[in-house]
Structure 1
């Protein structure tokens, strides 16, 4: 059995200069925390990395609004937070199953794809070991350089300013000082231009929270779902099952849902080795690969779900109860929120004909956008180097290239690296290997910093490298 989890509240990182502050604590930075913890456990105390993580949410959570009953993962459980880097890690999905007494039961299902609810529970189980290192309910308000000398001297330390995420009246938290930051703030929901969220107009990321708030009978007994990707199809299916007396109108500009390409050769684009190949490719080849293989991930739907929805539409035609309507090759040209619902207008792209829809709610499954890492960097953003298209120059180790003045490390994970590292950047597929690469980069640059300090004639004495609590499983 594993040792007890560390349940120490939101934690208070040790004072002094940390080796790493991770901004955001989703799966990417959780995988990094595990990689660091495993290094620390195998190293002498003075060789450990001292880290802390800052998260806006009050607890660990991963797409809670889309934890739909029965919805399964689109990636194998073997692409968990550790297995492809360290198959014997106690943080593997298989170890999680054993600890919860479900290993044999899961094997008997004969599937590689757990439900999203179960995988979310696995992630939360891993995150519990890092409670003492994670400051929840807090957001980063800015990152500023701390020069070694007054003026424009070299910058080896960064200061991360923090504030309460949901308590505007509360004082700001004590800033953290660190030699490296990891920007892992995830994705932000995207709505079409001109559309504003409201009580009856939602992005699909809020689906479960919003539908649970619907009490009493529906006035119009109708929902509209905008989008043609996996989330849109899942939302349409969920609403159709959860509200048996309501009609669900799926609105999208395509003629039909497009199946995801999950064939074995195409799936090799998600292999860790593919990141190396993509990173070293010419720019035009990178653009081509993203275009060719976008149908492995973007605006596509699992084939089984497409067939299930089609069967539903057909059976309703047989019985004469058309509750699931597919309004294909169409667009929503207007939405007006009212006290008891939404007045929407659908226009056919084929004929130009319009149809009014009175809905109890309109759900936009219109994707996400990547946050620009420079939003938090302030003046530090001017020290970050860009390519000919104004995009950040990011090294293979996910470290942002900076001017020679900035010697502190600024790392980034997620969709902001898709142009440099490929289509897996915002996915789970390579988290295990990537976290080890980033950890090794932190160690390498730490060793280089130690060499510089040894060569400095009158440098300050080195700080003690006490290691924060990190991981208690054995």
Structure 2
């Protein structure tokens, strides 16, 4: 495609959400290109542990919730791979994480508009109102310029590590997103400490606990949270991950939104019942005959500081209810400290044209448009960067297709994909 051609849309980043956008755009005449600096599609490769599953049903693939007849559905993926009967007898809604990643790779390979190995370096608006996008090709080792009517930012979130721990990052202190890449080194340690209270920390602890008899290390798990609590997974609780709740949340006052979000952590930050049960069952089995496994679990305890001592680390910890501190030694520290949204550097050329709220966050319209100071018919959209405006459903895979349908209907100026007003049983407001 010639660089000077004006595209209808450029996608920045190719995660599940922009992958779904590209797949759903196949039913339109939109000319599009999607760029990602990775060499191929990979979804959280450092956490594709055997035995782990998606925390949403398989229907939360990239297309089904707005187009169940799409050739890019998960069921069609199974059909193409001759796995339908195996899945039928599998009898589970929650599929292996590795299979979800393979499914997304299968979709990606069928969409020629996806360009991997290309990094979007800058986005700016021309006098005509189009977006001028500078893209670097790692293969060609050169920059290319593209123009588009619309841009969809789908860079998602990135691993978060508190600033005070960042100087220690390396092979033996690292974020949980790197776990699989570093596991071989980790298993050689004499002592390992996991920090965090979410699903990632639990899965890593369980994986290390399973392997402990073969490697004989001390294993500890600390969290500043009140306990190792399960994620909210009741059917009515799950209705918060719906277009209905998103619509309700968007209309709340800004200050009310902050208060609501601060009390909803267990809707998306807890541990699955299955993982907690697996850990407990293993603890029970390992203590048969009053044996004492070399493990330590402790909540209400925050990692305050890290110091490096003679090839290991001294960790200062603080128990909030007792108001007491202690120190432990550990060869490895795994920080399951979550993910935060961020503003990518490629938006530097548009900083003065974007509307920001008083907290320095993007002002995002209900239809996922980033509010620009000079509004025209060309728009900058965002995927999974609207937690502060749209609520807990922003990162949820089950709402990705709905958000993409909303964006596509604006791109083409008519309703290509239906979005329903009522999707759940309960009412969220008056």
- Normalised TM-score (structure 1): 0.80
Q: CA deviation at 1:331?
A: 2.6
Secondary structure (helix, strand or coil) at the match of 2:393 reads: helix
- Going from structure 1 to structure 2, the CA distance change for 1:335 and 1:14 (only over 3 Å counts) comes to same
Q: Quote how far apart the aligned CAs of 1:77 are.
A: 0.6
Residue by residue, what CA displacement relative to the aligned partner does 1:126-168 show, whole Å, maximum 9, x if unpaired?
A: 11112x32222222221122213xxxxxx2x111112256x8x
* Largest Rg, 1 or 2: 1
> Cα deviation per residue 1:350-382 (whole Å; 9 max; x = unaligned)?
2624232232x2100000110125x42234222
Worse overlay, 427-436 or 246-255:
246-255
Task: Encode CA deviations 1:277-330: one digit per residue, 9 max, x unaligned.
Answer: 2223343553454244331102x1112211222233344344423233103332
Question: Which residue is 1:190 aligned to?
Answer: 160
1:432 aligns with 2:405: no
* 1:36 pairs with one of 21, 25, 47: 25
- 1:223 is matched with which residue? 192
Counterpart contact for 1:399–1:412, Cα < 8 Å: yes
What SS does structure 2 have at the residue aligned with 1:382? helix
Q: Of 376, 383, 388, which aligns to 1:419?
A: 388
Cα deviations by residue, 1:27-69 (Å, 9 ceiling, x for unpaired): 0100110111122xxxxxxxx1111111021110000000011
- TM-score, scaled relative to structure 2: 0.88
Q: Does 2:338 correspond to 1:367?
A: yes
Secondary structure, aligned partner of 1:269: coil
Higher relative CO (CA 8 A, sep ≥ 6), structure 1 or 2? Answer: 1
Matched position secondary structure for 1:369: strand
Q: Measured at CA, do residues 84 and 330 of structure 1 come closer, stay the same or move farther in structure 2, by a change above 3 Å? A: same
Alpha carbons 2:4, 2:145 under 8 Å: kept? no
CA, structure 1 residues 176+338, in 2 after alignment: closer, same or farther (shift >3 Å)? farther
Matched, 1:236 2:205: yes
User: Structure 1 residue 69 and structure 2 residue 41: aligned?
Assistant: no
SS at 1:270 equivalent:
coil
> 1:110 aligned to 2:95?
no
Question: Hey, what's the Cα distance between the residues in 1 that align with 2:137 and 2:184?
Answer: 27
Secondary structure, counterpart of 1:34 in structure 2: helix
Are positions 1:208 and 2:208 aligned together?
no
Structure 2: give runs of 5+ residues left out of the alignment. Answer: 415-430
Helix, strand or coil at the partner of 2:105? helix
Q: Does residue 17 in structure 1 map to residue 6 in structure 2?
A: yes
Alignment length (residue pairs) = 408
With over 3 angstroms needed to count, the CA separation of the structure-2 counterparts of 1:337 and 1:140, relative to structure 1, is: farther
* d(CA) in 1 for partners of 2:309, 2:110: 46
Aligned ranges for residues 353-392 of structure 1 at < 5 Å? 353-359=325-331, 361-372=332-343, 375-392=345-362
Written as runs of structure 1 = structure 2, the 5 A alignment for 1:339-358 is 340-349=311-320, 350=322, 352-358=324-330
User: Which of 228, 239, 251 is residue 268 of structure 1 equivalent to?
Assistant: 239
Gapped runs of 5+ residues in structure 1? 1-11, 40-47, 149-154, 446-474
1:308 aligns with 2:278: yes
Q: Which of 105, 108, 118 matches 1:138?
A: 118
Does residue 1:83 correspond to 2:64, yes or no?
A: yes
